[in-house]
């Protein structure tokens, strides 16, 4: 990628900023490192939390939802559909109350970002947290 772009990618990654790779960068990742880059939006992440819960009755954290969605996208856009994959949940979903509350209360016609921001403001409130958990 070149030193400047590699630093930019690393800085953005560690600053929790979105990293988007160009088609040329994806080609380099695949050919030189055998890595496939897949980007997920936070909206897709939240919807995946809800979909996984509806399908399996298991609640996953946003990180696990990203891994599941990334694998699904990879398999959809690749010939590599048979390889086994292990996704290990790394955190409790209850650590991310705003995300969980958003997908629990989301209706298709609602603005997902507005709903998430509303819950994010309440997330650190002890009273709201106790109410949600009960």
pLDDT of residue 85: 83
pLDDT band, very low/low/confident/very high, at 65 (cuts 50, 70, 90): very high
Task: Write out pLDDT tens, residues 6-24.
Answer: 888 888 877 777 788 888 8
Q: Check residue 110 and give its pLDDT.
A: 65
Reply yes or no on whether the pLDDT at 68 is more than 90.
yes
Q: Using CA atoms, how far apart are residues 65 and 87, in angstroms rounded to an integer?
A: 10
| Residue 132 pLDDT class (50, 70, 90 cuts) | low
Q: What is the pLDDT of residues 72-111, one digit of tens each?
A: 998 888 777 777 888 888 788 877 878 877 777 766 666 7
Mean pLDDT for 30-57 is: 84
Residue 101 or residue 58, greater confidence: 58
How many CA atoms does the CB half-sphere of 104 hold within 13 Å? 14
The model carries a pTM of 0.62
Q: What is residue 31's predicted lDDT score, i.e. its pLDDT?
A: 79
């Amino acid at each position: 990628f070149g030193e400047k772009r590699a630093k930019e990618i690393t800085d953005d990654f560690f600053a929790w900023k979105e990293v988007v790779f160009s088609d040329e960068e994806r080609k380099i990742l695949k050919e030189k490192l055998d890595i496939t880059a897949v980007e997920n939006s936070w909206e897709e992440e939240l919807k995946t939390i809800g979909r996984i819960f509806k399908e399996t009755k298991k609640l996953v954290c946003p990180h696990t939802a990203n891994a599941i969605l990334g694998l699904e996208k990879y398999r959809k856009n690749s010939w590599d559909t048979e390889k086994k994959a292990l996704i290990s949940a790394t955190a409790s979903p209850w650590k991310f109350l705003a995300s969980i509350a958003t997908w629990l209360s989301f209706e298709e016609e609602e603005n997902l970002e507005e709903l998430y921001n509303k819950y994010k403001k309440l997330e650190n409130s002890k009273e709201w947290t106790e109410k949600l958990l009960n």
